[in-house]
Amino acid sequence: MAATIIDGKALAQKVREEVRVRAKAFEEAFGRKPGLHVILVGDDPASQVYVRNKERAAEKDGLAGLVHRLPADTSQETLLAKVRELNEDDAIDGILVQLPLPKHLDELAVVDAIAPEKDVDGLHPVNAGLLVAGRDGLRPCTPSGCMRILEEAGVDPSGKRAIVVGRSILVGKPIALMLLEKNATVTIAHSRTADLEARVREADIVVAAVGKPELVRGSWLKPGAVVIDVGINRLADGSLVGDVHYGEAVEVASVITPVPGGVGPMTIAHLLENTVKAAELRARKAG
């Protein structure tokens, strides 16, 4: 069977075109661009690249993007004061604290300090709770991107068996909840799951969000399974691979996302979408 290979870059462009239209409409209505502010603590090279990409993408799509760079030895109090300052600034719609933070900082306390209506990463307990309750809120970007991929690929999760490998707050758990919301029968697998291979073989939809290169083999898949590979793993030779063995899986799956160029570009597109959504919701609330 020839699998449909998802072009995440093209799909992300489609999402971002929608973002551009909404950002322009917002600016025309309210006289300012939706604002996305990112706080970066320290000088981790990967984080520097991520935040620069977010800032550039925001500006390209008609948002006002700004990165606040704080030194690695920033205290918890200074960081919380910065978050509060951004919370109170009416021209800022989205606040994102780039994780991981340096070890001496309390990440949970920092996430808790972000105003839920500006929490564009969807990590605040209020937004997590809204997702659990099946209510509208700001949802984590990568899971939203995965769901949009399924939608665009014409995959309706209703009645299907889905497995999500990985149970992180950022990816695994929210994807599982979103699949459940779409009426899939969902299994959440993790590092203690017994016989992962057998559990994967039962699934019509496989989402891998583990961080282990090529963990899921082609031979584990049910023929015709839909495979969403969230993993991004850099090998010693510098190449990037997912959590699924792509070369094997592409021979068995009906739909598959490559790494790179699958889920990755959708994450940033959904961050921008969340920012526009936050701006629209805040404006509506303000009357």
CB of 287 to ligand NAD, least distance (A): 36
> Is 54 among the catalytic positions?
yes
Give the residue with the Cβ less far from ligand NAD, 14 or 84.
Answer: 14
- Residue whose C-beta lies closest to ligand NAD: 168
Interface residue list for ligand NAD (CB under 6 A): 142, 165-168, 170-172, 189-191, 193, 196, 209-212, 215, 230-233, 263-264, 267
Do the beta carbons of residue 138 and residue 120 sit within 8 Å?
A: yes
**Which is nearer to ligand NAD, 92 or 176 (by Cβ)?**
176
Please state the closest distance from residue 165 (CB atom) to ligand NAD, in A: 5
Name which of 68, 57, 52 is nearest 276 in CA terms: 57
Which residue in the list 61, 93, 119, 121 is annotated as catalytic? 121
Decide if 51 contacts 38 (C-beta within 8 A).
yes
For residues 272 and 12, the answer to whether their CB atoms sit within 8 Å is no
Strand partners, 241: 233
Which one, 218 or 231, has the nearer CB to ligand NAD? 231
Least separation in angstroms between residue 126's CB and ligand NAD is 21
Residue 121 a catalytic site member: yes
Catalytic residue among 33, 54, 182, 277: 54
Quick one: tokens of 269?
Answer: 């597109």
Which phi and psi angles does 128 have, rounded to 5°?
-60, -40
- Fill in the amino acid letter for 259: V
Dihedral (CA of 194, 145, 38, 95) sign: negative
Catalytic residue positions? 54, 98, 121
